[in-house]
Structure 1
């Protein structure tokens, strides 16, 4: 079936990125499969992360079907768009329906996008991961694709006003190698492996990020363990 909505939305997003003069550094897109199912997993630091994670799949000419909370689908503006782009609603009171929907999509050859932390991390570090992404990959017989975003929190994140000015924000995206998800492996062990890979990618993205805080009042977007003023995550202390 022809994609009548998703490509124009991608085009509009790219136009917005140009207007905002965002500066992208994207590496690892060769790991996105040209065909077949996969579970794309990303860290979650801002409200627009699904847009940027999906952008990483465009060089492979793929569209990502993201799992998103059901409230987004009930909104009078975003709801019709989300459904038309074939994203997957997640109703926490009926999680198995969302899970089965995702597995069907994977078996049909789609890339399904998942944020295994389930919500934005206010510390901008990785939270504990839920195992659903791995279990879906195992049941569908597809690999997991780890991805790390950095800089997206500066545009719009929890507890901050969105900043859509022409601030030339850099956005760094790193895609890692596919992680096989055999059915006979422990979901917990595979989830730990996935998180370790994403931690490596996140650190690589942070090291490559070209921007520094402009002053004492601009350290909010850096984790405490990197000298920023974001709330410390459990197990981290300020530098």
Structure 2
């Protein structure tokens, strides 16, 4: 009930008035049954605008830190994200990543819409970064369509130097990977599927694509104080897929 309260009473109406979000291609989202909504991730508010455009409920995988706070603030934050339909996942290790994938699979087996961000974290500079293959693993194992999504923000100037942000949510045509049936767990197939999903997101969003992991860029930026461009110039696309099994989450 809290999910619908947020959508139709608390957050939804305010977001519609202030940002006037518009949907393009919402008919591409299946009316029933399980599906994955794979989106770019530019802002902590992405999870608000995406489900706001749909009649169906969307369940997101969210980082566990949102659910582990203490005191009154921790309680309120935990209650908010739980009520909003977010499911906590641990991103701290490879075993935790597998647990996140199993959580996503459970949600899909229940016939729900699963919202994930294949980049695994918010973009450090507005570009689209390499996707992690957890999205492919889930799509192949359950055999569900993947709907690529792009949340696009634009600013319009107002008098006296002010700007107002407008939001567009673009839903691409569902991607069918049934040709890879039985190949879940094959890292080369999963990488191919993930790259296809990221290409469609790039096409919808108009973002520049960077073939390195956004989380690696953020980590280096924090350690060195360098800009994203400087860090990207020093990084090479990963040779292996060991790090690919990190979970796809709400925010980073």
TM-score (norm 1): 0.73
Q: Does structure 2 conserve the Cα–Cα contact (< 8 Å) formed by 1:54 and 1:63?
A: yes
Gaps of 5+ in 2: 69-73, 156-161, 184-188, 208-226, 234-252
Measure, in 2, the Cα distance between the counterparts of 1:15 and 1:25: 13
Deviations 1:190-239 (A, max 9, x none): 111101111100129xxxxxxxxxxxxxxxxxxxxxxxxx954847xxxx
Q: Where does residue 221 of structure 1 map in the other structure?
A: none
TM-score (norm 2): 0.70
Per the alignment, do residues 53 and 138 of structure 1 end up closer, same or farther by CA in structure 2, a change over 3 Å counting?
Answer: same
Shift of 1:25: 2.9
Q: Does structure 2 conserve the Cα–Cα contact (< 8 Å) formed by 1:23 and 1:168?
A: no
Per the alignment, in what secondary structure is the counterpart of residue 122 of structure 1? coil
Q: Where does residue 195 of structure 2 map in the other structure?
A: 192
Q: Where does residue 244 of structure 2 map in the other structure?
A: none
Deviations 1:161-185 (A, max 9, x none): xxxxx95321121110001133345
Q: Where does residue 14 of structure 1 map in the other structure?
A: 12
Measure, in 2, the Cα distance between the counterparts of 1:13 and 1:193: 33
Per the alignment, in what secondary structure is the counterpart of residue 77 of structure 1? helix
Per the alignment, in what secondary structure is the counterpart of residue 21 of structure 2? strand
Measure, in 1, the Cα distance between the counterparts of 2:25 and 2:17: 25
Q: Where does residue 217 of structure 1 map in the other structure?
A: none
Per the alignment, do residues 169 and 86 of structure 1 end up closer, same or farther by CA in structure 2, a change over 3 Å counting?
Answer: closer
Shift of 1:18: 4.1
Measure, in 2, the Cα distance between the counterparts of 1:15 and 1:86: 18
Q: Does structure 2 conserve the Cα–Cα contact (< 8 Å) formed by 1:134 and 1:181?
A: no
Q: Where does residue 65 of structure 2 map in the other structure?
A: 71
Q: Does structure 1 conserve the Cα–Cα contact (< 8 Å) formed by 2:39 and 2:116?
A: yes
Q: Does structure 2 conserve the Cα–Cα contact (< 8 Å) formed by 1:88 and 1:102?
A: no
Choose between structure 1 and 2 for higher RCO, CA contacts under 8 A separated by at least 6 residues. Answer: 2
Q: Where does residue 30 of structure 2 map in the other structure?
A: 33
Shift of 1:19: 4.7
Once superposed, what is the RMSD of the aligned Cα atoms?
A: 2.2
Paired residues, number: 191
Gaps of 5+ in 1: 155-165, 205-229
More helix by share: 2
